[in-house]
Amino acid sequence: MIPAAFDYLAPASLDEAIDLLARHGPDAKILSGGMSLIPAMKIRLAEPAVIVDINGIPDFEYLREEGGQLHIGAMTRESAFEQSGLVRHGYPILFETAKVIADPLVRNRATIGGNIAHADPANDHPATMLAVGATIVARGPNGTREIAADDFFNGFFSTALEDGEMVTEIRVPAPTARTGSTYLKFERKVGDYAIAAVAVNLEVDEAGHCTSARIGLTNVSDVPMRARNAESALIGHAVNAKSIEAASREAAAECDPKADLRGPVEYKRDLVRVLAGRAIGRAVARAQGRTH
């Protein structure tokens, strides 16, 4: 379990990090929390020649509201989401997502930037980012650009990031008074990746109709995915047991799980149906102010 040798560079600023990434090209890998990269290096699944450790860059861990959005520094640790009152009360879906990632020791190191950039379909943040309609801010040699979460995850462990680009910030729109959202994960044992998980973010008007809905699914396809048919089954409809059941059946039908140690395809689909039903129900209750 000894990683291959590498050159270690620890830039003291974002500019320096971008320069180093440009200079070393595809030989270089960014090291943030290291909770996915170091395990992969130990089994030699990853053998980067150069490591660019971004832990020493100042002011890279923050959670602040600005212009109707939550701005999250890419190096913000999962544990910071758990400890933040702003997240817990204002963005419960982010609290619920961080809380079920790995275990508390891993969460003390793991970062949201790494979790998203790694784009493991089993990672928990991507589905939530799809559900909340987050914007991912990336910086590279040609400057800064904003990428919608919908355009960010484009393949198995693959993202819209160009060579030399890094995630610097994630922006999440603030919920409205009529928004309800939640993240619901089912895992084989504590600290494990999801067998399946469902992220729901919706709005319900005073008449009890769903006016918007975005649903993200974890670990039931090669790429973190939106359950668009499930969303359509809700939008414009009265939210009740029947429409929730219809939407959860759509989610089960449109996901694309693989059989593995966590279970066969039929089981995973049915799990998506059950989790989606519960998550939509909880999000609706929150949107209607019945629960928090």
Partner 1 sequence: MSLREIHLTVNGEARTATVENRLLLVHCIRENLGLTGTHVGCETSHCGACTIHVEGTPVKSCTMFAVQADGKSITTVEGLAGPDGISPVQEGFWEEHGLQCGFCTPGMMMTATALVRVEEEPSEAEIREAISGNLCRCTGYVNIVRAIQFAHRKIHSPAPVPVMAHEGGE
Ligand X SMILES: Cc1cc2nc3c(=O)[nH]c(=O)nc-3n(C[C@H](O)[C@H](O)[C@H](O)COP(=O)(O)OP(=O)(O)OC[C@H]3O[C@@H](n4cnc5c(N)ncnc54)[C@H](O)[C@@H]3O)c2cc1C
Binding-residue pattern over the window 109 to 148 for partner 1, x denoting contact by CB under 8 A: x---------------------------------------
Q: Which does 114 bind (CB under 5 to 8 A by kind): partner 1, ligand X, none?
A: ligand X
The number of C-alpha atoms within 13 Å of 152 and in the hemisphere containing its C-beta is 32
Q: Residue 77 gets which letter from DSSP? A: B
Which one of the spans 48-56, 153-161, 221-229, 283-291 is the region binding partner 1 (CB under 8 A)? 48-56
Residue closer to partner 1 (CB basis): 35 or 276: 35
Count of residues interacting with ligand X (CB under 6 A)? 29
Distances, alpha carbon 76 to alpha carbons 49, 83, 89, 167, 216, in Å: 26, 12, 18, 12, 22
* Nearer of residues 123 and 201 to ligand X, judged by Cβ: 123
287 φ, ψ (degrees, to nearest 5): -60, -35
Q: Which two tokens stand for residue 48?
A: 């980067």
Q: In this structure, are residues 268 and 250 in contact, taking their beta carbons and an 8 Å threshold?
A: no
- Say how far apart CA 259 and CA 231 lie, in whole Å: 25
Is position 135 an interface residue for ligand X (rule: CB under 6 A)?
A: no
The one-character DSSP state at 111 is B
* Residue 191 makes contact with ligand X by CB under 6 A: yes
Within positions 66 to 125, which residues make up the interface with ligand X, using CB under 6 A? 74, 101-102, 106, 110-111, 113-115, 117-118, 120, 123-124
128 binding ligand X? (CB under 6 A): no
Q: Which of 27, 65, 103, 146 binds partner 1 (CB under 8 A)?
A: 103
Tell me the two tokens of residue 227: 């359950």
Partner interacting with residue 6 (select from ligand X, partner 1, none; CB below 5-8 Å by kind): partner 1
Q: Which of 11, 17, 18, 32 binds ligand X (CB under 6 A)?
A: 32
Find the part of the chain contacting partner 1 (CB under 8 A) among 90-98, 100-108, 116-124, 204-212. Answer: 100-108
> CB within 8 A of 84, min separation 6: which ones?
63, 95
3: left (phi over 0), alpha (psi -120 to 50) or beta: beta
187 binds partner 1 (CB under 8 A): no
DSSP letter for each residue of 34-62: -TTHHHHHHTTS---SEEEE-TT-TT---
Interaction of residue 136 with ligand X, rule CB under 6 A? no
Q: Which entry of ligand X, partner 1, none binds 193, CB below 5 to 8 A by partner kind?
A: ligand X
Q: Show Cβ contacts of residue 70 under 8 Å, excluding neighbours closer than 6 positions.
A: 63, 64, 86, 87, 90, 91, 94, 171, 172, 174
Query: Which residue, 108 or 221, has its beta carbon nearer to partner 1?
Result: 108
Which positions touch partner 1 (CB under 8 A)? 1-8, 10, 34-35, 38-39, 41-42, 51, 53, 55, 102-106, 108-109, 190-191
